[in-house]
């Protein structure tokens, strides 16, 4: 079992592998009868769903690497604490109509007097010189790439619906390290293009609007019973992939379907309709 890193679990929980889990007999008996004929878009969470990340090391190293680039302005400890509090505000605080990036940079400028221009310059330095040090903390999950590729071959609109608290280059890096970079997504949520975060229902509604597919015709696949299954509130169909299940305190949404990665792949192969668009 993989232990969580308590200091950061409120933002990036560390999923754990279950050696034994409750088996829902009905899902095995009726897997082939599920009706997904209305589905036109599939949304995939990233961490714990399409790849595995050792978050107990990943987050401290990511934030620490950034903090070192601001040492001449503020102590690394103060920067790290302020930066993480800024992300907490993105997830837990009310949206103001601006992007998550703009909200975070406004917070850093207000609290640390770091301008948006200066932050982006130093962030780019980290992108070019530091991010690849995190590669060893990311591993592939069997059947994950195959599941996404099947959705693409079925002509479904594909969305990488990771919680948008990272810049796009951090998401692209994790895709590259886990073999997902060869798959084209129609939309990737990042802090540059998103105004909401999970578990806000508005996050899912905004994605549906961006891709031009009604929420009722979307399937959300993720491993977090709170953040990912909140898509239910927007009217989306949900699949809880429980290989690396995350269960948080507080509200947990019911899932329409549930299984591990092998079962997810079979579920998609048996039930996901083919759309007319050819790729």
Cα 120 vs. chain centroid, distance in angstroms? Answer: 22
Q: Which pLDDT score, from 0 to 100, does residue 4 have?
A: 35
Three-class secondary structure of residue 188 per DSSP: strand
Q: Which pLDDT score, from 0 to 100, does residue 25 have?
A: 36
Q: Give the span between the Cα atoms of 146 and 19, in whole angstroms.
A: 23
Q: Give the span between the Cα atoms of 73 and 31, in whole angstroms.
A: 57
Q: Which residues contact 261 (CB under 8 A, 6 or more apart)?
A: 141, 142, 143, 144, 147, 241, 243
Q: What percent of the chain has pLDDT over 70?
A: 87
pLDDT confidence bin for 252, thresholds 50/70/90: confident
Neighbours of 54 (CB within 10 A): 16
Per-residue pLDDT, averaged over 183-200, amounts to 97
pLDDT confidence bin for 276, thresholds 50/70/90: confident
- How far are the Cα atoms of 55, 71, 116, 146 from residue 249, in angstroms, in the given order? 19, 36, 34, 32
Q: Which of 141-150, 178-187, 193-202 has the weakest average pLDDT?
A: 178-187
Which of these, 175, 188, 189, 186, lies nearest to 145 by C-alpha position? 175
pLDDT confidence bin for 33, thresholds 50/70/90: low
Tokens, residue 83: 């930066």
Cβ atoms 91, 197 nearer than 8 A: yes
Q: Which pLDDT score, from 0 to 100, does residue 271 have?
A: 97
pLDDT tens digits along 95-139: 899 999 999 999 999 999 999 999 999 999 999 999 999 999 999
Cβ atoms 13, 189 nearer than 8 A: no
pTM: 0.88
């Amino acid at each position: 079992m993989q232990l969580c890193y308590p200091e950061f679990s409120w933002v990036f929980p560390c999923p754990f592998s279950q050696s034994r889990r409750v088996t829902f007999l009905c899902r095995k008996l009726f897997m082939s009868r599920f009706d997904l004929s209305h589905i036109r878009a599939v949304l995939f969470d990233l961490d714990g769903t399409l790849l595995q990340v050792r978050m107990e090391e990943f987050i401290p190293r990511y934030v620490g690497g950034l903090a070192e680039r601001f040492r001449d302005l503020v102590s690394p400890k103060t920067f790290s604490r302020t930066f993480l509090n800024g992300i907490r505000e993105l997830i837990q605080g009310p949206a103001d109509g601006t992007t998550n990036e703009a909200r975070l940079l406004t917070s850093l400028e207000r609290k640390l007097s770091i301008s948006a221009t200066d932050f982006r310059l130093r962030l780019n330095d980290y992108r070019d010189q530091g991010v690849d040090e995190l590669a060893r903390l990311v591993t592939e999950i069997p059947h994950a790439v195959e599941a996404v590729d099947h959705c693409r071959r079925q002509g479904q609109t594909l969305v990488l619906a990771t919680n948008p608290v990272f810049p796009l280059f951090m998401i692209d890096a994790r895709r590259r390290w886990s073999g997902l970079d060869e798959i084209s997504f129609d939309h990737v949520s990042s802090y540059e293009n998103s105004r909401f975060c999970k578990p806000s229902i508005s996050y899912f509604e905004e994605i549906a609007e961006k891709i031009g597919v009604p929420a009722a015709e979307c399937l959300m696949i993720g491993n977090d019973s709170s953040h990912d299954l909140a898509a239910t509130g927007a009217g989306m169909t949900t699949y809880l992939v429980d290989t690396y299940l995350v269960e948080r305190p507080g509200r947990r949404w019911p899932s329409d379907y549930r299984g591990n990665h092998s079962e997810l792949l079979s579920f998609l192969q048996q039930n996901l309709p083919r759309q007319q668009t050819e790729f």
